[in-house]
Amino acid sequence: MEYIYTPVGVCSNQFLITMDGDIITSVKIRGGCPGNTLAVTTLVEGNNIHDVIKKLKGIPCGVKGTSCPDQLAIALEQILENRN
């Protein structure tokens, strides 16, 4: 299943997340810092949604109070909420 999320408070402007059950099969981040977003997507693909949320939730970017990883965790939480 594919999900689209619009992040808030960060440089990136869209996340495309593909799931197979609880496994994240693909993440594409549009906008943002190319090296960082590529690293995040590469590291989370193939992992369990619950594990990724635990690792990324609350990571800040400077004084923004959020970050692309934090926004990805929020997107994944919304996926879980909408599935139930």
Q: Which of 1.10.10, 3.30.565, 3.30.1490, 3.90.1010 is the CATH number of 2-83? A: 3.90.1010
Q: Structure pTM?
A: 0.95
| Each residue's pLDDT tens digit, 31-56 | 999 999 999 999 999 999 999 999 99
Residue 57 is classified by DSSP as T
Q: What's the rounded mean pLDDT across residues 5-27?
A: 97
Q: 47: Cβ–Cβ under 8 A, 6 or more apart, which residues?
A: 23, 24
Distance separating alpha carbons of residues 80 and 33, to the nearest angstrom: 27
Domain range list for the chain: 2-83
Q: Is the pLDDT of residue 84 over 90?
A: no
Kindly state the average pLDDT of the residues 5-26: 97
- In the three-class reduction of DSSP (H, G, I as helix; E, B as strand; rest coil), residue 30 is classed as strand
Residues 6+ apart with CB under 8 A from 66: 8, 9, 10, 60, 74
